[in-house]
């Protein structure tokens, strides 16, 4: 969603300005064109050279100078006319107050006031002391900004540079990037509640051992982020993974297939869409040992009895008023044949098939969509890009 987008990145006078260098790098890595605008206060914390080096463009910091002395190129007008979004990160309490009240006394605040509100989105990532954040004046200003259509990213809570603790920290660059992508994403799932499962399950053998699989959860987490960016209220039920909880997604951690099923049954009642991405274990040990099974002798090999786990996708699809159900099939052979049989057996309208060993733990994936009309292959691509494409495909198939 950021490829070839022109982002104005505003930097204000906060210690959190160091995070903006990483944010600029991430935006460029996503294909965006970034122009940095700095206040005088920002330059007390980080140099313009840093951002000029990262972006390959000079930093804009002067209200009274044209970018081209030979033309009437007025910076605070033309910069926003060329931009798709103005992101101020970090945004101090002072700058937030000016924007809320329509005060424009430097280049950055002029840009905020002069932008075309229909074409150039505005978002701020507040960064300030916890008491400044709680101050009634700041509360009023943030409410006014939200009412005016300004997106407010955060803030986060934690240790602050002043030594205090609480709300007011600027969000981390990766979280800001996720929210910027959401800002630029068409809201094709606005008002929808999407329930997603992700990752593996872990079926205990004894208190220290268990049965699991190689799923990393990356595809499910990417779909949760993409659905949230598309305007949905997203609940993610995840088995054991090493991934951070996606921002703006309600994440519930579970371990076993039984726990995942119970969580899905509870949340499916409010869901419009259910996407079963998790690699749920097909079997579990029927009698879990209460203590660690000890290895006494080399010839002593324990015998385990197995039973099937519940079919979560089929169970949700067979509810009286089921959500629109989407399944994933990770196969090792006969991909299309086995995937179509799975779709029909589970009674779902859409199944997404992929080659399991090729995708588990990988950052890219290649899938084929299978529905009543046949099969449609998508090109191999990074999972975050694939997730955005899949959300678009799912949105097109939802009942009116």
Whether the Cβ atoms of residue 138 and residue 93 lie closer than 8 Å to each other: yes
Q: Return residue ranges of the chain for CATH 3.40.50.10300.
A: 193-397
3-state helix, strand, coil in the chain (%, to 5): 35, 25, 40
Which numeric CATH code is attached to 193-397?
Answer: 3.40.50.10300
- Going 241 to 242 to 248 to 252, the CA torsion angle's sign is positive
Residues 103-145: tens digit of each pLDDT: 999 999 999 999 998 899 999 999 999 999 999 999 999 999 9
Distances (CA, A) of 356 to 133, 158, 330, 343: 48, 40, 4, 17
Instruction: Decide which of 300 and 146 is more confident.
Output: 146
Whether the Cβ atoms of residue 359 and residue 330 lie closer than 8 Å to each other: yes
Per-residue model confidence (pLDDT) at position 291: 92
Tell whether the model's pLDDT for residue 70 goes beyond 90. Answer: no
Q: Return residue ranges of the chain for CATH 3.40.50.1950.
A: 6-183
Whether the Cβ atoms of residue 5 and residue 184 lie closer than 8 Å to each other: yes
- Please compute the mean of the pLDDT values over residues 79-101 and round it to a whole number: 95
Report the alpha-carbon distance of residue 57 to residue 52 in Å, rounded. Answer: 5
Report the alpha-carbon distance of residue 387 to residue 249 in Å, rounded. Answer: 15
The CATH architecture to which 6-183 belongs is 3-Layer(aba) Sandwich (3.40)
Tell whether the model's pLDDT for residue 222 goes beyond 80. Answer: yes
| Three-class secondary structure of residue 324 per DSSP | strand
Rg (CA), the chain: 25
| Strand partners for 327 | 276, 351
Per-residue model confidence (pLDDT) at position 65: 64
Catalytic residue selected from 162, 176, 264, 325: 162
Element (H, E) at 249: none
Residues 327-350: tens digit of each pLDDT: 998 888 888 888 899 999 999 999
Judge if the upstream peptide bond of residue 90 is cis by omega within 30 degrees of 0.
yes
Report the alpha-carbon distance of residue 16 to residue 153 in Å, rounded. Answer: 14
Active site residue 91: no
Tokens of 220: 């499910």
| Strand partners for 200 | 279
């Amino acid at each position: 969603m950021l490829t070839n987008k022109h982002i104005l990145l505003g930097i204000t006078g906060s210690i959190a300005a160091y995070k903006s260098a990483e944010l600029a790098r991430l935006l460029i890595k996503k294909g965006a064109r970034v122009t940095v605008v700095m206040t005088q206060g920002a330059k007390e914390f980080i140099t313009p050279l840093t951002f000029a080096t990262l972006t390959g463009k000079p930093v804009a910091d002067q209200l009274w100078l044209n970018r081209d002395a030979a033309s009437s190129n007025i910076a605070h007008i033309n910069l926003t006319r060329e931009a798709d979004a103005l992101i101020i990160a970090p945004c101090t309490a002072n700058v937030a107050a000016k924007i809320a009240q329509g005060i424009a006394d430097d280049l950055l605040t002029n840009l905020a006031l002069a932008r075309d509100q229909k074409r150039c989105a505005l978002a701020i990532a507040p960064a300030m002391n916890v008491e400044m954040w709680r101050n009634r004046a700041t509360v009023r200003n943030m409410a006014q900004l939200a009412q005016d259509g300004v997106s407010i990213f955060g803030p986060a809570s934690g240790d602050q540079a002043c030594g205090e603790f609480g709300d007011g920290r600027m969000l981390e660059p990766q979280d800001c990037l996720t929210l910027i992508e959401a800002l630029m994403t068409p809201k094709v799932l606005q008002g929808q509640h999407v329930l997603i499962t992700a990752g593996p399950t872990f079926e205990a053998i004894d208190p220290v051992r268990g049965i699991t699989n190689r799923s990393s959860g990356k595809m499910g987490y990417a779909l949760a982020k993409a659905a949230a960016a598309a305007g949905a209220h997203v609940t993610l039920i995840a088995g054991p993974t090493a991934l951070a909880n996606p921002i703006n997604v309600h994440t519930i951690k579970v371990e076993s297939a039984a726990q995942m099923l119970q969580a899905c049954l509870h949340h499916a009642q409010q869901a419009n869409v259910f996407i079963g991405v998790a690699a749920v274990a097909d079997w579990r040990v029927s009698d879990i040992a209460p203590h660690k099974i000890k290895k006494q002798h080399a010839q002593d090999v324990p015998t385990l009895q197995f039973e099937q786990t519940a079919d979560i996708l089929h169970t949700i699809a067979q509810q009286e008023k089921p959500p629109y159900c989407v399944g994933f099939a990770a196969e090792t052979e006969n991909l299309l044949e086995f995937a179509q049989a799975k779709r029909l057996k589970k009674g779902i309208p859409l199944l997404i098939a992929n080659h399991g060993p090729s995708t588990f733990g990988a950052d890219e994936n290649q899938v084929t969509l299978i529905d009543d009309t046949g099969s449609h292959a998508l090109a191999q691509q990074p999972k975050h890009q694939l997730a955005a494409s899949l959300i678009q495909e799912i949105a097109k198939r939802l009942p009116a």
